[in-house]
A = this chain, B = another copy of it.
């Protein structure tokens, strides 16, 4: 039977790997969070514990017969989509978001998973946990399907707007470490998103980043263009969050656009409707890789703790995947590897 626990009790109990879930985060919270936690247990080692942080009565409603490895930590306050990201640390200390992150900060847990307000999670995580030594700016990436079948990580997709070259350099290093350890790709290739292949192309920041990456510890392929993302030319595509966010949102809109097109065709007549109906399973299968929600959550790389952020409308499966990913990141010591890469071979001060 799942127990309710206090922070003091958590601090005192022997320390398994502990993944904190913001039970009040997503659009269907806490239902999907609870179901996701249940589902995750099947894939986790028995030495892993899940802590659901949020309103106990709401959580309990969905938590009949939960095993003891799922704990509840009661909090009253909930951060919503309308909350100003920068003000949460100051004014929402009773929220599931703040309390959950603070458990990681205090060493009572190892990882934090949330499908809540992305900007809010990002800002609060950065302020509560701080940065990994050597990291100029934490970042969020997103996976894109490619023609090679191997996804490409686009980083940054909106955490940082107007990045300096040094920030982009760090995104490249963090993306490489993550891809190497989590996807198992040795020496993954990194491309710099630009408007042409020549190193003289692009904005001043792009040119400076190109030079930095040439002498960095990553496997730098050179500049890539917009078309190289879906082509899968490289494993990691680095860019500022301004264009990264624009490209991600454009990409996320393609599926809806195609569905609209097929629907318009089906509405032309009975024959057309039957044709599209017969073909629906094929379409679903072929287009499935373009549903960006299927990728579950993405890591907030560079903060001093493991944090996975998911889509607000994430399914129980998505939340379960986020929990599994969080556990894997803890075990593979991704953050330690990032720190080593960025402090052992630091960029010279003059280039910062």
Contact = CB atoms under 8 A, between A and B. Distances in A.
B242 A227 contact: no
A231 B253 CA distance: 8
B279 A246 contact: no
Given A230-B250, A254-B254, 20 more contacts: A145-B257, A146-B257, A161-B201, A161-B203, A195-B242, A225-B245, A226-B249, A226-B253, A227-B249, A227-B250, A227-B253, A230-B254, A230-B257, A231-B253, A231-B256, A243-B243, A246-B246, A250-B251, A275-B282, A276-B282
A62 interface: no
Interface string A182-215: 0000000000011100000111101000000000
Contact of A147 (B231, B246, B257, B279): B257
Contacts of A272: 282
Interface string A283-318: 001110100000000000000000000000000000
Nearest to A287: B261
A229 B285 CA distance: 25
A238 interface: no
Nearest to A275: B282
B254 A195 contact: no
Given A226-B253, A230-B250, A253-B229, A245 B195 contact: yes
Given A249-B226, A253-B231, A261-B289, A242 B161 contact: no
B246 A161 contact: no
Nearest to A246: B226
B241 A265 contact: no
- Determine which residue in A202, A227, A285 has the highest number of CB atoms from chain B within 10 A of its CB, and name it: A227
B230 A253 contact: yes
B286 A262 contact: yes
15 contacts: A146-B257, A147-B260, A161-B203, A162-B203, A203-B242, A225-B249, A226-B245, A226-B246, A243-B247, A246-B246, A250-B250, A250-B251, A258-B286, A265-B282, A279-B279
